[in-house]
Amino acid sequence: MAAKPRLLVTRNFPPNVMARLRRDYAAITNDEDRILEPAEVLALSQDVDAILCAGTEKFSREVIEALPENIRIIATYSVGYDHLDAAAAAEKGITLSNTPDVLTDATADIALLCLLGAARMAHSSAQTLRSGQWSSWAANQFLGVHVTGKRLGILGMGRIGQAVARRAMGFNMQIHYHNRRPVDVPGLEAAIYHKTTDSLLGVCDFLSINCGLSAKTKYLINDENIAKMPDNAVIVNTARGGIIEDAALIRALKSGKIAAAGLDVFENEPHLNPDYLDLDTLFVLPHIGSATVETRDAMGNMCLDNLDAFFADRPLISEIKT
């Protein structure tokens, strides 16, 4: 019997995933589920063939170049791969894979939760109730922003952006979007394409951020671009924290330029900018976009399907190309 491939597993993934990888691989696991420092990853990689990581581990060019030659593939338990230096991996001959598609619906659901939670003052109203400070109904209490019929701008009309659009249509929202190119998919024929972000921002009563993080999108939502949005708009981010400049959004929320924000991601996770904590108009979650049992299992199984395919010399389901 051929020896099992040797696999470093940097986080403690769902039980079904861990059971499968322990069955099929000679695995080094992180049962304490600590976030491993780069030096620890390098030390543990000396005698393995592959790494199964999460977005919490940073594989910079320096780390990639320091990996031993025995590392042939890194599978990331995520769709986004800005934590991996893909160019450095390609230069070193390391294959990369990710987990697209399987978390589309779960993340789109959370985008709508953030949209509604922010618009309808869900955080501050719930906190008032839970703290025992709510005494009676009042006509001018917890007044939020009406959702139905408003204009929703979607920044990034990939799989998740399209799923957000379909859900928002249930609220009779008018869909606008900016993407590298127009999309042509059933059910979204009425969505209005904008060639530039400037054009999109000008019509956003609500803005849902669903694009990837890159040099072009880093701090795209800043003072200058927020100023282009209608007054009392709502911003939702379920993509990557670095797309929003925290200080700019905080200023806009404090001034009332932006009525509310719903964030499932933010800069410097897990450390939320403390200036957000004073804002009743913020609805924030701890990056739970994919956090359902079904989705997290599907992500892990896709990682393992990619690893299985690699070691069987078959095409990967989702290889990251540079």
Residues 225 and 252 sit within 8 Å (Cβ to Cβ): no
Tokens of 265: 């991601």
Phi-psi region at 230: left, alpha or beta (left = phi > 0; alpha = psi -120 to 50): beta
Instruction: Read off φ and ψ for residue 180, nearest 5 degrees.
Output: -60, -30
**Which residue among the candidates 6, 11, 269, 319 is catalytic per the annotation?**
269
Contact 76/99 with Cβ under 8 angstroms? yes
Rounded Cα–Cα distance for residues 157 and 104 (Å) = 12
Q: Which of 149, 142, 147, 150 is nearest to 122 (CA)?
A: 142
Q: Which of 240, 245, 267, 296 is an active site residue?
A: 240
Cα dihedral 84/86/92/98 (nearest 10):
70
Distance (Å, rounded) from C-alpha 59 to C-alpha 71?
13
Pairing of strands 6-9, 151-155: unpaired
Q: How far apart are CA 226 and CA 235, in angstroms?
A: 10
Q: Which two tokens stand for residue 168?
A: 């928002």
Q: Is 240 marked active-site?
A: yes
Report d(CA 52, CA 36) in Å as an integer: 13
* Location of structure tokens 């249509």: 169
Query: Is 267 known to be catalytic?
Result: no
Burial of 73 (0-12, 13-18, 19+ CB in 10 A): buried
What's the chain's Rg over C-alpha atoms? Answer: 21
Contacts of 146 (CB under 8 A, 6+ apart): 119
Q: Which of 40, 83, 287, 319 is catalytic?
A: 287
The two structure tokens encoding residue 292: 């359902």
Tokens of 270: 């897990």
Q: Please identify every residue annotated as catalytic.
A: 240, 269, 287
